[in-house]
Structure 1
Amino acid sequence: MSGGRTGTVVFACMDADTLGGIQRVTHTMAQGLAERGREVHVIGLHRAEKPFRYVERPRYTSHVIHRAPVGRLSRLGRRRERRALGGLLREVGPGFAVLSSPSVVTRIGGLLPERLLPIGQYHGSYEHARGSWHLGSVTGHYGDLEKAVFLSEQDAWLFSEHALLPNACSIPNPLPVWPSRTAELTARRVLGVGRLEGVKRFDRLISAFAEACGRPVPGGAGAPPDLAAARREAGEGWELHLIGEGAERGRLLSHAAECEVSDRVVFRGAVPAARMADEYVGGSVLALSSEHEGLPLVVGEAASYGVPSVAFDVSSGLRSLVLDGRTGVLVPPADVTALATALAGLMASAEERRRLGAAARAHVEAFRPDRVLDRWEALFDQVTR
């Protein structure tokens, strides 16, 4: 098989159409490689409960193996899966199979024909893998693949050293687009983007936002009276817009009421991918309060529109996006008061928002779709030499 831009690329996910970072990256890469002339297939082992459309006019082919959402499979279900995957994979041409997670590697890796060279991705951080079953699975299975791709150089090094992976390398996730317009950063709006699920800890973001606006936070020490008064003045008119949907919505509504910011927290629900540009342009700060992340795409997307971020420092992937004090602000994980202080500082200073936002946009040019796809093409060439 020749190198360059020939050869099929198959992307495989547990489900390919859920609203999530892995899925967004998969569809961005699939469309980009298809536009470069490759035959591309996206396989979802399961159908999403609420399918989300990432690309309006895909130039790749999508497949769903099971109509049911992700869950335990019966013995009959596993046999059907092997039969369906076997038939599908026999029909595609020679090339590469990009397996998006440890679960996908164990489900599909052994079914790949020799003409599809397996490449494993891991979208989390080494810190998160070490605290879960992921590290054992990556250690046990990724070494048998052609390449194991991680999100940052530090993650690749840590997996190489501690999981003994000689095939580890790093390629960051691509931004969906590189925008021509940027935010003015004058709107009094903080953005929180992601699924309303426990791991995103939007409850901590709501608490931090309330504290940044000088409101008392239940169970917290609260800011000194003079600082609280100054924050109330600087935070006048600011809103927190949560973009996404999920099971935590009711609890988060209640928490906003407890923090006395029900009038300031706007639950936007899921926003179509095609309209997210308007959301970023209409924001002035992005806040990330997750317990763990790999390389959070929303931070890179915001930066591409010139919007700076404040975030809990939870992974090396995040640190590759946010250079603390230069392109945004990082604070210790789970430190709500520190997050509130960082938010308050940016809410109070348009000049600081513009300084960090301009630097953030310049920094994330490395994550432009064309540049990341070039790195994947170089990896494909390397694998086939």
Structure 2
Amino acid sequence: MSTASVSTASVNIASVNIAFVCMDADTLGGIQQVTHTLAQGLAERGHEVHVVGLHRAAEPFGYVERPRYRRHVVGRGPIGGEGAIARRLADRRLAAVLRGLAPGYAVLTSPAVVPRLLRLLPGGVRPIGQYHGSYQHARGSWHLGSIRRHYPRLDQAVFLSEDDALLFSEHALLPNTWVLPNPLARWPERVSPLTTPRVLGVGRLEGVKRFDRLISAFALASTPPWELHLLGDGAERERLRAHAAREGVSDRVVFRGRVAAADMAAEYRRAALLALTSEHEGLPLVLLEAAAHGVPSVAFDVSGGVRSAGPELVPPGDVRRFAAALGELMGSPGERRRLGAIARRRAEGFRLDGVLDRWEAMFAHMAR
């Protein structure tokens, strides 16, 4: 079996109807950020675009200031908080939205969305399944079984990298794989000078992100005046603060909390390095955003998506080798500049217009 992808050359297609359907479309998270970025971009190209949340976000986050697409929340409660009657009413609202799409496409953004939507899709609405994780992560969870069971019934199964699409094609027996990377919402004109002695860690302070490993690696690799700034919030904050104290770096690990999206460009420009120590990732936007700002990264080699972003790769979980990679870059401004320039050139391939071209090319392929 083979995977399908296309060049980023522009493809002229007529306006189409598209719905992106998420379990929860408005929580702060990578799937949601990518969904709203794609929806706005496709709407600005003249397509009729809808973003549908099956559940209401407990803490809604605004991704697009002036959306050109339509938004729907069909569930009245958070994930896991609705009964049978509420679920049936939500399905009726969802079916009404979907009927308005025909003919068109429904992009199902996670394995949890797919079985529910397949029951409700009207004729003329063609299903496209996205998977925002890696094959390695899917293999260790219920996701792989669900993908094997449901994704062959979709018109296309979309993955983030060639490596992951090939693995799913071979091991989940999918005949319909396609590769579409995450896009950068915007392209910065200004880059970091890489002179501020600061390492960034960006993401939710939760176990899967393994910021404890990043703190340990930073403690091994760094000396003053280097600081580690953690941007994000979550349940692990106090545990991580205590871990930094045990590692002897509590005075140089700065917990910044949640940073507004509009302020992130300035954060990247004030950084010299980005570090990613997650247990699993698909194609992390933070790697792409850092690269676009000319900031080199060090990351555990946990997926084809991570590899495609071009960071300095370290075997998963190897804190000492991660520390060595960090230390080498901390000590070499010239190497930081060299790798930062390479990272920015690579990030060109993830610019929004190019990724939108690839989406339109897929729609044109499906319409043939």
TM-score (norm 2): 0.94
Q: How far does the alpha carbon of each residue in 1:6-43 deviate from its partner, in whole angstroms, 9 at most, with x for none?
A: 11110011111111111111011001001101111101
Secondary structure of 1:359 counterpart: helix
Matches within 5 A, 1:188-199: 188-199=197-208
Secondary structure of 1:295 counterpart: coil
Secondary structure of 1:62 counterpart: strand
How many Å apart are 1:272 and its aligned residue?
A: 1.4
RMSD over equivalenced CA pairs, Å = 1.2
How many Å apart are 1:115 and its aligned residue?
A: 2.1
Q: How far does the alpha carbon of each residue in 1:212-267 deviate from its partner, in whole angstroms, 9 at most, with x for none?
A: 12xxxxxxxxxxxxxxxxxxxxx321111111111111111111111121111111
- The answer to whether the aligner puts 1:254 opposite 2:242 as a matched pair is yes
Matches within 5 A, 1:352-371: 352-371=335-354
Cα distance in 1 for residues equivalent to 2:252 and 2:112 = 40
Q: Which residue of 2 aligns with 1:124?
A: 133
Cα distance in 1 for residues equivalent to 2:58 and 2:199 = 29
Secondary structure of 2:74 counterpart: strand
Residue number among 314, 325, 335 corresponding to 1:331 in the alignment: 314
- The answer to whether the aligner puts 1:33 opposite 2:42 as a matched pair is yes
Cα distance in 2 for residues equivalent to 1:28 and 1:361 = 20
Q: Which residue of 1 aligns with 2:296?
A: 308
Q: Which residue of 1 aligns with 2:147?
A: 138
Count of residue pairs the alignment pairs up: 357
Q: Which residue of 1 aligns with 2:332?
A: 349
Q: Which residue of 2 aligns with 1:111?
A: 120
Cα distance in 1 for residues equivalent to 2:101 and 2:70 = 11
Q: How far does the alpha carbon of each residue in 1:239-298 deviate from its partner, in whole angstroms, 9 at most, with x for none?
A: 111111111111111111111211111111111111111111111100000000011111
Cα distance in 1 for residues equivalent to 2:272 and 2:88 = 51
Query: Identity across aligned pairs (percent)?
Result: 65
Cα distance in 2 for residues equivalent to 1:352 and 1:258 = 31
Secondary structure of 2:107 counterpart: strand
Letter in 2 for 1:6: S
Q: Which residue of 2 aligns with 1:225?
A: none
Q: Which moves more between the two structures, 179-188 or 70-79?
A: 70-79
Secondary structure of 1:196 counterpart: coil
CA contact (8 A) 2:231 2:255 kept: yes
Secondary structure of 1:191 counterpart: strand
Secondary structure of 1:88 counterpart: helix
Q: Which residue of 2 aligns with 1:231?
A: none
Structure 1 unaligned regions, length at least 5: 214-234, 323-327
CA contact (8 A) 1:7 1:93 kept: no
Cα distance in 2 for residues equivalent to 1:317 and 1:184 = 26
- The answer to whether the aligner puts 1:19 opposite 2:2 as a matched pair is no
Cα distance in 1 for residues equivalent to 2:252 and 2:77 = 38
Secondary structure of 2:67 counterpart: coil
CA contact (8 A) 2:102 2:122 kept: no
Letter in 1 for 2:282: G
Structure 2 unaligned regions, length at least 5: 1-11
Letter in 2 for 1:18: T
Cα distance in 1 for residues equivalent to 2:170 and 2:13 = 31
Cα distance in 2 for residues equivalent to 1:121 and 1:311 = 24
Letter in 2 for 1:121: Q
Letter in 2 for 1:32: G
Cα distance in 2 for residues equivalent to 1:65 and 1:267 = 36
Q: Which residue of 2 aligns with 1:229?
A: none
Cα distance in 2 for residues equivalent to 1:313 and 1:292 = 9
Secondary structure of 2:113 counterpart: helix
Letter in 1 for 2:327: A
How many Å apart are 1:94 and its aligned residue?
A: 2.5
Cα distance in 2 for residues equivalent to 1:302 and 1:5 = 35
Q: Which residue of 1 aligns with 2:220?
A: 211
Q: Which residue of 2 aligns with 1:383?
A: 366
Secondary structure of 1:102 counterpart: coil
Secondary structure of 2:184 counterpart: coil
CA contact (8 A) 1:288 1:311 kept: yes
- The answer to whether the aligner puts 1:95 opposite 2:104 as a matched pair is yes
Cα distance in 1 for residues equivalent to 2:44 and 2:326 = 40
Matches within 5 A, 1:201-240: 201-213=210-222, 235-240=223-228
Cα distance in 2 for residues equivalent to 1:384 and 1:92 = 15
CA contact (8 A) 1:46 1:65 kept: yes
CA contact (8 A) 1:240 1:264 kept: yes
Q: Which residue of 2 aligns with 1:147?
A: 156
Letter in 1 for 2:122: P
CA contact (8 A) 1:188 1:237 kept: yes
CA contact (8 A) 1:5 1:377 kept: no
CA contact (8 A) 2:206 2:236 kept: yes
Cα distance in 2 for residues equivalent to 1:248 and 1:286 = 20
Cα distance in 1 for residues equivalent to 2:255 and 2:75 = 32
Cα distance in 1 for residues equivalent to 2:365 and 2:266 = 39
Letter in 2 for 1:103: A
How many Å apart are 1:141 and its aligned residue?
A: 0.5
CA contact (8 A) 2:74 2:91 kept: no
Cα distance in 2 for residues equivalent to 1:259 and 1:5 = 58
Cα distance in 1 for residues equivalent to 2:339 and 2:319 = 21
Question: Which consecutive aligned stretches of 4+ in structure 1 deviate over 6 angstroms post-superposition?
Answer: none
Q: How far does the alpha carbon of each residue in 1:76-133 deviate from its partner, in whole angstroms, 9 at most, with x for none?
A: 2221221111122223453111110000111222211122211000011111111111
Cα distance in 1 for residues equivalent to 2:248 and 2:26 = 36
Cα distance in 2 for residues equivalent to 1:93 and 1:144 = 18
